[in-house]
Structure 1
Amino acid sequence: MSESRRPQTRKADGTISTTRKPAAVCDQHPVVSRTGPRRSESVRLAVLNAADDLLVERGFAALTIEGIAQRAGVAKQTIYRWWKSKVDILLDTLTDDAREALEWRTGDGGAEAEIRAHLKRVTDFFQEPAGQVMLSLLGHAQLDQATADALRSGFLSEQRRRDIAGLRALFGRTRDDHGIDDRTADHLVDLLLGPLYYRLLVLGKPIDEDLVNSTARFVVTLVRE
């Protein structure tokens, strides 16, 4: 079983279908919060699932610790013992879900095909509850510096390192491409993901197949020049 909170199955086209794991899971492995003492895994999962469910249903502004506690079936004091705020809960749920959903997967296709496949996974992720969590946190970060700092120093930095490593591994193993260094990969991550975020966050429009295909083609062309 994956470390992700929700079992995932791969569709025929390579995308990921996410189904929810029940909140009541085996309580065998206590874990340590970034913000509090040891806690049971079953309660942690119940709280994280409740938080992103309620975010999708009610939106960020209406999301409260009280509501999360009621949905998860735990005491409000229990949540505050482990998390300082709803933002901390959402950061945990985002980190958990994105770890698998946004990973770079090795294959035997060409560079452009694999980049298209990864961008499609990113697009699908934005349609999931975890993607809505990410977009909500990015929006709130524009108004709250503490949220911006936590998001950038935590999840966004970690995901960027994974994206850089994924691009370097991809171009390092494809036969018809030269490897790229970290600095080049860092710039390519901006070129690769920037159009998707611009389309969603600035224009408020869905990411279509043409954008995915043209972005993948552009990045591969730059590397091969």
Structure 2
Amino acid sequence: MLTLRNVDIHYGRVHAVRRVSLHVAPGEIVALIGANGAGKTTLLSAISGLLRVSAGEVLFDGRSIAGVKPERIVRLGLSHVPERRLVFGPMTVEDNLLLGAYSRYKRREALADRDAMYDMFPVLAERRGQQAAALSGGEQQMLAIGRALMARPRCLLLDEPGMGLAPQVCKEIFRHVGELRRDKGLTVLLVEQNAKSALAVADRGYVLETGRVLLSGTSEQLLANHDVRRAYLGREKDA
């Protein structure tokens, strides 16, 4: 469904991503793990059209989306849940959700999907009239995911969904990610610094280091890799 071939990305003179190639098959959850500054968020931003690639190919369903405007990419079926959630604080929970359906023209369907988001995240139904800025971090993450799902994507880009969340809340978010794949067949490319949580829900993963793919493999292979355990799972895991 999603393929990157030899992608380079620059910030001015800074070569942030270097010849990255990866693929995500339909129905897969694929994790991108790595330290801060490895290029994970940059890569997702390029896929969703927020950044331009300097070289290489970005293909979605076999067609190039490099240089395509972000709103067009959303209409093609690819939605992005950004780092730090970026909900619209002054707007209500309900308006944030409905804004996620801006690219669709059948209001009845949008309202039905809104109700489905409330079923998935009951706390959002309880807060539907509140400003998004008043929500907790976990509730804002649920809202950001729900807003992205309102566009009915076939592929979801998730950037650091566990950032700043309590362990139990983080566990709940990842449970929902797994359910979306299981129940709806959603394809997910997941960026997460908590490598253990990411690989627990993912089928495969890529390890990025200084803008390059250092390792790739199944989640089981990466979890068992000595270097991955030391770098991303804590030294105590080597015992």
TM-score by length of 2: 0.33
**CA radius of gyration, larger in:** 1
TM-score by length of 1: 0.35
Please state which structure has a larger fraction of its residues in strand: 2
